[in-house]
Every structure is written in C-alpha cells, then in structure tokens.
Structure 1
Amino acid sequence: MGFSYAAFGCVAAAALSALSLGLDVGMISSTLVQPSFIAYFNEPSPAQIGGIVSAFSAGATVGAFGCAFIADRFGRIQGFFTGAIVVVLGCALQAGAVNVGMLIAGRLITGLGAGQLTAVLPVYASELAPASIRGALGGLQMVGIETAIFLATAIGYAFGTHYTGDIQWRAPLALQMLPVLLLVAVTFFLPESPRWLVQRGREEQAIKVLNRLHRSQGADFVQAEFLEIKAQLDAEKHHEEPSWKEIWTRKSYRKRIFLSCLLQWLAQLTGINCIQYYASTIFSLLGFSTTTSLALNLLYGAFGLLFTLFWVGIIDRLGRRPALIFSSLLAGAALLIQAVLSQVYLTKDVVPVNGLRAQVAMFYIFNLGFVCVGMLAWLIPAEMMPYNIRAKGTSISVANNNIAGIVVAQVSPIALSAISFKFFYVFVAADIVAAVCYFFLFPETSRLTLEQMNQVFGDMEIEPKVKGTEVWIDSVENKSMA
C-alpha cells in the first residue's frame, strides 16, 4: 500500500486547524512575561495568570463536543468552518481586551472554537488516511501545533525585543487569527470524509472522493476501500446510532472511551501545559532576563517542530505502544534531572554557566519525549473509535484533554511560585505511571484499518463484500476521471 499524496495534501491543509491550539500556547507563553502586559494588567497574581491561561482550556472542553453535534450532523468540513469562525471572534476580543475579564472572555471563546477544531481534525485525518500511513497523517496535527508554537514564540520574541507599549502583546494576540482565516477559505476546497458520505447515503460522492485521494493506488484499491467502508457501515445500521447515554452500555465502547480519556490525562500529566504555557516564566525563574527567556522559548519551539517531524517519520514503523512507553520515560527522566539540578544550583548565589545550560537542555529533551505522546494522544482515540461513535468518542477524549489541561494550567503558576521546580517531581511520578499503563492496558493499533480495529476490541470484523457493487464503482470511477 503506497503513499497517498492527495490524502496527505488534504490532511495537511486541514491541519491549519491545529495552529489555533499551537498559536495560543506560544503566544500566551510569550505574552505573560512582556513588561507592557504585566504593567497594563497591574502585575496579575499567580491565581489570575492561572485563570487567564486555563480559560482557553475551559472553552476548549465545551467546544470539543461541537465535533459530535456539528461534524456528525453537517459533515467534517462544516466542523472546520464553524470552529474557525469562533476562533477569529475570540482572537479579536483578546487583542482588544481592556481588562482581565475581557481577556479571559476572549480566551474562553477562542478555546470554544479551537476545541471543536482539534476534535474534528483527528477524526477527519483518520477517515481519509490509509492504514499504512495513518500515523504519519494523524501526526500532521502535532506538526501543525508545533509549527504554530514556533511561529508564536518567534512573533513574541520579535515584538518583545523591537517594540514597546501595548503593541508588544496586542499584535501577537491579533495575529493568531490569520491562519484560521486561511482555514476558512481552504474549507471550500477540501473533500468531505468518504465515511461520512457513505453513512449519509451519498455513495457516488464517496467513490469520487476515494478516487481523488487514492487514484495512484489503482482502481482495485479504491474498490476495496469503498467495499470495506460500506460493509462496516451497513453492519452498523442494524444498530441505531447510540445516544450519549447508550455509548456507555456496550463493553467495547466503554473500553475505547476509557483508554482514550486515560491517554489524554496521562499526556497532560507529563507536565506539558506547565512547561509550554509557562516556558518563558520558567526560564525567568532560572535567572534569565526577559529577552533571553523569550529567545530560549523561541529555541524551545524550534526544537519542538524538529522533534515532531522526526516522530512523524518513524511512528508507523515503530508502533504506538513502544513509542508511548519510551517517550514517557524520556520525558520523566528529563524532568527528574532538571528538578535535581535546580535543587543543587538554585540555592547558590552564583549558578555556573554549565549548570544553567544543563537545566535548559533538560527542557528540550523533555520536549523530545512529549511531542510523541502529544501526537499519539490526538491520533489514537480517533483511530480506536468505530464510525458510529467516532465523533462522540473523540469529543469526550478531547474534552478530557482540556479538563486535565485546566487543572495543570491553573495549579502550575501557584505551585511554581510556592515550591519552584520541586513541583516537577509530580510529573516525574506521573510519567512512570503512564509508561506502566501503556504497557499493560493499551493494545497496538498501528497499521490496522479503522474497520479492523473492531476485532482488537472484541467486535466482529466485517468482510468487505457487497454484492453487485463492483460494476457500479467502476462506472463512478470512469465518470470522475472523465
């Protein structure tokens, strides 16, 4: 099974939606240390800062369910379109904020849209991608996030070092809306998910989309892909689409949702929201100036993007479980070393240069571990879910990601202020627990079709045989090529 450039292009374009999350992470991290921001809002307390940061995750928790209500009813593309419009409105409010309340409201609304976008993207990517490259295509969400973090930290550094006054933070917050406006335009050209089209009875359109996505694979591949999708969805028609309550009554559904939510909590408890949202603040705690902290934050974003591209290149060969176990232990080891070094060096009046370098290096090594966990936290829940609960299940998963993010974002500034880097020992313990959970609880889902995934979770796998469909498919393919 070869590489589908068309599918890659469509998912890459849709990955503009992931920029909404990455830009927020990078922008707010830089914004919190800008002198003009601190002065304008009268030196906000750690609790206020926690509220400002976590408002985005609170909105995203609610917005994630837009994937189920909008993307299921009106299509995946409408999920992108409406989510993007909401993000634009929220960014405008943030940039024009005149008090903390207005800033929090803007971040809450931005989170609503971003939560929907980040829930729709893994569903869309998993439904367009062939099994052999689903990890790479699903990983484009993390590429989008890390690209946006890098761009945001670069913008924050540029405005922090070359401008003074409110423009230092207002302009970066306003610039968040540009890629999302581009996404609005792109939605008019993206194909709808073929699985959604088949489920809605629009089979001729589904064949045309599959042919567009996989023409290089040949007619036999397109036919087999369609037959497998149709057979599985036809089998699921014997059961009505489960309600929110009913998805908890079937054992295999409960297991998928439990593992998806557990994965999101374990990913957040690596410490990522603490490190990424407060990176510039953390570098300031190490004794660096505002300018140097912004520069180190920029470098952190650059390495994050490179690390993500590395993991995208090997994730389908490595497998999901080995990658999760290794990367969690790597992230935990890096934070453990950093916490120990901080206790050794920060008690001294003068910290050796090599001591500071080692502590900064540990944050970058932590990021190498996290980006793999983060990428799989978006990919695995969507690929584990059967079609009839994919949007609902992914919504629940993303909502849990954001709930966990709220907890970490709210607690982190208070904990860092009170006990400094000793707080990292909590994340070290969580990373060890995560590795154990991945080993004993999580099945390997790499390189399985979405329909074959049912067998892993104890459901019957449907044989892709639909009588009389082959001739009709050939006819549709010929029309689409004409």
Structure 2
Amino acid sequence: MRKEEELESRLLSDVEPAPADSEGSAYAVVCALLASLTSIIFGYNRGVMSGAQKFVQEDMGVTDGQLEVLIGATNIYSLVGSVAAGWTCDRVGRRRAVALSAAMFLAGSAVTAAANGYAALMAGQLVAGVACGFGLVVAPVYIAEIAPARSRGFLSCIPEIAINSGILLSYIADFALADLPTTLSWRLMIGIGAVPPLFLAAAAVFAMPETPRWLVLHGRTDEARRVLARISGDADRRLQEIVASVREASPKSAGESPPGVWREILVHPAPAVRRVMVAILGLHVFQQASGVGAMVLYAPRVFSHAGITSDRAVLGATVLLGTVKTVAIVVPLFLADSLGRRPMLLASAGGMAASLLVLGISVRAVATWWAAAACVAAASAFMAMYSLGFGPVIWIYASEVLPLRLRAQGTGIGTALNRVMSALVGMTFISMYEAVGMAETFYIFAALSAAAWVFVYAFLPETKGRSLEEMESLFDTAVANKPSPRATLS
C-alpha cells in the first residue's frame, strides 16, 4: 500500500499549472468540435437517402421492398460497427478510432455514389453503415472523457447538434441537386459525403489529444497529466480521481485476473451495473421506437400522403423539418447542465407523444391545404420535441453513467441496440403503413413515446453535476434505496 501511495504522489507531483477555466473550457470545446465531425458525417449519410431515394429508384429500378432493405440494412451494418467500435476504442484509443471511422465514411460514400447496380449500392452502404456505428460510439465516448464535469452536459450535446446539422445539410443538398439529370443528381447527393472525412482524418491525426482516462488506463500517466493540465482547472484532483478509479477496477492481488468486460456487463453484472445497463438499453429502445427514423428517412412520403404533390414542395417541407430539428437541438446545449437530464427527457417524451397524435390525425384527414399544413407543423413539432431531449440527452446519459472500465464497450452495446431498433423502423415503415394505415402507424409511435415517459419517470436517477467517477456509487445508492416488493405491498 505504501508503494501505491508513493506512486500516486509521484503521478500527481509536478503537474503543469492548470489553465484558467475559460482557457481549459475553450480547449475542451475545440476537441469536442473536432470529434463531432464524425457526427456531422453520420448525419449526412443518415439523411441523404431521404431525398435521394426517389432518384435512386428511377435510375436503378429499385423497388420499394429493395429500398426498405437497403435503408434498413445500413442500420444492421452500423450495429456491427458500434460493437466493433467499443473494442477498438479500448484497444487502440479513442482518437485513432475517430480516424478509422473517417476512413470508412470516405470509402462508403465513394462506393455508393459510383454504384452501377443494386449489389454495389449494398456494398457501399455496408462500409458506410459500419462507419456510422463507429461514429455513434466514438464521439460521445471521446467527449464524455475529455470534458470537465461542469461542462460535460454542454459538450456532450455537440454530437447530436452535429448529427442534426449533417441531416439538414443532406436535405439542402437533396433540394439543390434535385433538378439535375436523374443519374447524376443522386450520385452527387451521396458523393458529397466523401469530402468531410478527409478533414476529420487529418484532425484526428494532427490536432486531437487522446483522452486522459484512456491514457491512465493504459499506464501513460505522463501524457494524461499533460492533457488534463490543458482541459481542467483542477488537474491535480482530476488525475487523482482517475488514478483511484483505475486502481479500484484493477485486480486486488497479483494472482487475480481482471473480469472480462463482456462478462461484467452481460453475464454476471453487479447490481449497479445491471441498473445502468437497463437504463441505457431502455433509452436506446425508446429513442428509436418513437419513429424518429421514419421521419428522417421517409418524410417526403409522409408529406406526399398528406396531399403535397410537387416534388420541390415536398423537398422544401423536408428542409423545413431538418431546420427545425437542427435549431431545436441547440436548446439542450444550454440546459443540460442547469435543468438536468430527467426533466428534459420527460418534457421531450410528453411532447413527442402529443405531436405524433396530431400528426396521425392530420394524415387521416381529407387531403386539403390545411391538412397538409397541419401535417408539416406536427412533424416539425415532433422533431423539435425529440431534439429537446430524447435526441441528445440519451447520448449524454449513456456515455456518462458507465464505469470507466466498461464505458467504451457498454456504449457500443447500447448503440448496437439503437441501430437494431432503427433498422426495424426503417425496414418496416413502408410495409407497416400500407398494412395498417399511415395514421395508425403514428398512433403506435405516440403510444411508445408515452411509454418512454413512464420509463424515464420510474427508472432514471438524475446525473447532472456529478463526475464520471461518482456514477457507480449513484446507481449503487439507487439500488440500495429501491423498495422491496414486500415493502411496496405492505
């Protein structure tokens, strides 16, 4: 024990003077913005097929069924990417995982844009889908570990803002390129997505530091100390907390082997870890079960169903939808650290349920100008309410509540489930509304959003203002304070 104390003292001695809070925060913001380039590219790849799908169908002879498979399969591929991203983040580091994600985005966009048949489209979407899975994991993990506790909610909202910005940019590109010849328009819409990854790869290699927690976990404490000195006004205390957290996760004796990450998460989790994983997985299920993927991918179809007949009017309404979604996502940036995670999630789920109910009523009405206007307004309200909470806050929550030793792969598991749900919605939406009706489909989404409100209210503790090292004890306390069934019945 004496040697451990001496080692910790040596680690914390001679730490470079910490910058002023404003300087450290500025550096952390720059790092978060660079990491969020991954999210912009993901958003662009996610949204571009909304407008491009019509031209792909005309040019390549793709049927509705093939289109559902093409779009849904991308999410299945991203499931593979999200699971692999957790392992990659732990092995090679968060920063190198960002660079790998950028390389795959570049390749996937290029192959899809150059496709000369359905098989080539699927191949390009395979690579892009794996890249999407990487992007959804690496940016939240990187930012959660690089951000000071006082601004983690603020910085952790940036990836979701970036995703929405990427979606909006894809809608604008779809609108701007729609009048080009069909065989050229969709290729340019998708091919533009190959440009930003070049800048992201360069940023990851030359400008982004590795996270201090990963560095400590791999014994590179001198580098961790230098990074903390740039991003934290209390670098000494933060390094001590991280070292202590890593020590607690290490074997207690020389002959003891550390438990495997997968075993600790899924096979024999501690009560607090089990509660954390249920919270994370539940949030990911309800986020996609709300039908947000259907609106992102199929908004033009919904607007056409409501009576908007002009292609440019449909794409213009879709741009409006993306604009509202992107503007609304800025609000959590300023509220996540003051208002808290739970109130924002509760308000978001309630608002989504109400707007989806109105959306269902509007598409059921006779196709008139007011029904079309109500449809666009309700869809915009849904996107706004989603962006106020369930869009960004679940990524904040999921990336901050897991213990350091489990964070990357636990985030990967949650993201994989998110992609499964997204694929389920993307691959069944057309078939679903053809089978039960467009209005009834949105009524189902409204009911699932109401269920999300109940889940958040009953199960999620508040996490704002707590350091990452405090989260496990928070969930330990939540488990300890949970009333027994006997006490509940008495």
Q: Same fold (TM over 0.5)?
A: yes
Q: How does 1:120-269 map to 2 (within 5 A)?
A: 120-161=138-179, 163-188=180-205, 189-214=207-232, 217=233, 221-238=234-251, 240-248=258-266, 249=268, 250-269=270-289
**Cα distance in 2, alignment partners of residues 455 and 43 from structure 1:** 53
**Cα distance in 1, alignment partners of residues 365 and 21 from structure 2:** 52
**Cα distance in 2, alignment partners of residues 69 and 310 from structure 1:** 33
For 1:321, the equivalent position in structure 2 comes to: 342
1:6 aligns to 2:23 (yes or no): no
Could you list the per-position Cα deviations for residues 437-477 of structure 1 after superposition, in whole angstroms to 9, with x for gaps in the alignment?
A: 000011111111000112111189xxxxxxxxxxxxxxxxx
Q: Describe the SS at the equivalent of 1:64.
A: helix
Q: What percentage of aligned pairs have identical amino acids?
A: 27
C-alpha deviation, 1:241, in angstroms: 5.0
**Cα distance in 2, alignment partners of residues 87 and 43 from structure 1:** 23
For 2:476, the equivalent position in structure 1 comes to: 458
**Cα distance in 2, alignment partners of residues 285 and 157 from structure 1:** 19
C-alpha deviation, 1:355, in angstroms: 2.7
For 1:388, the equivalent position in structure 2 comes to: 405
* Residue type of the alignment partner of 1:166: T
For 1:428, the equivalent position in structure 2 comes to: 446
1:297 aligns to 2:311 (yes or no): no
- Of residues 430-439 and 116-125 in structure 1, the stretch that sits farther from structure 2 once superposed is 116-125
1:81 aligns to 2:94 (yes or no): no
- Of residues 414-423 and 403-412 in structure 1, the stretch that sits farther from structure 2 once superposed is 414-423
C-alpha deviation, 1:287, in angstroms: 2.3
Query: Is the contact between residue 81 and residue 183 of structure 1 (CA under 8 Å) also seen in structure 2?
Result: yes
Match of 2:354 among 323, 329, 333: 333
**Cα distance in 2, alignment partners of residues 43 and 99 from structure 1:** 9
Change (3 A) 1:124 1:459: farther
**Cα distance in 1, alignment partners of residues 184 and 162 from structure 2:** 26
C-alpha deviation, 1:251, in angstroms: 2.1
Query: Is the contact between residue 270 and residue 428 of structure 1 (CA under 8 Å) also seen in structure 2?
Result: yes
Q: Describe the SS at the equivalent of 1:318.
A: coil
C-alpha deviation, 1:405, in angstroms: 0.5
Query: Is the contact between residue 145 and residue 212 of structure 2 (CA under 8 Å) also seen in structure 1?
Result: yes
Query: Is the contact between residue 287 and residue 391 of structure 2 (CA under 8 Å) also seen in structure 1?
Result: yes
C-alpha deviation, 1:170, in angstroms: 0.3
Query: Is the contact between residue 335 and residue 428 of structure 1 (CA under 8 Å) also seen in structure 2?
Result: yes
1:28 aligns to 2:28 (yes or no): no
Gapped regions of structure 2 (runs ≥ 5): 1-19, 253-257, 479-490
* Residue type of the alignment partner of 2:288: Q
Q: Describe the SS at the equivalent of 2:365.
A: helix
Change (3 A) 1:133 1:403: same
Change (3 A) 1:362 1:395: same
**Cα distance in 2, alignment partners of residues 448 and 242 from structure 1:** 27
For 2:486, the equivalent position in structure 1 comes to: none
The runs of 4+ residues in structure 1 deviating greater than 2 Å are: 245-248
- Of residues 279-288 and 151-160 in structure 1, the stretch that sits farther from structure 2 once superposed is 279-288
Match of 1:94 among 112, 134, 138: 112
TM-score (normalised: structure 2): 0.88
For 1:111, the equivalent position in structure 2 comes to: 129
Could you list the per-position Cα deviations for residues 316-345 of structure 1 after superposition, in whole angstroms to 9, with x for gaps in the alignment?
A: 111111111110110110010111122233
Gapped regions of structure 1 (runs ≥ 5): 461-482
For 2:6, the equivalent position in structure 1 comes to: none
Match of 1:354 among 370, 375, 381: 370
Q: How many residues align?
A: 446
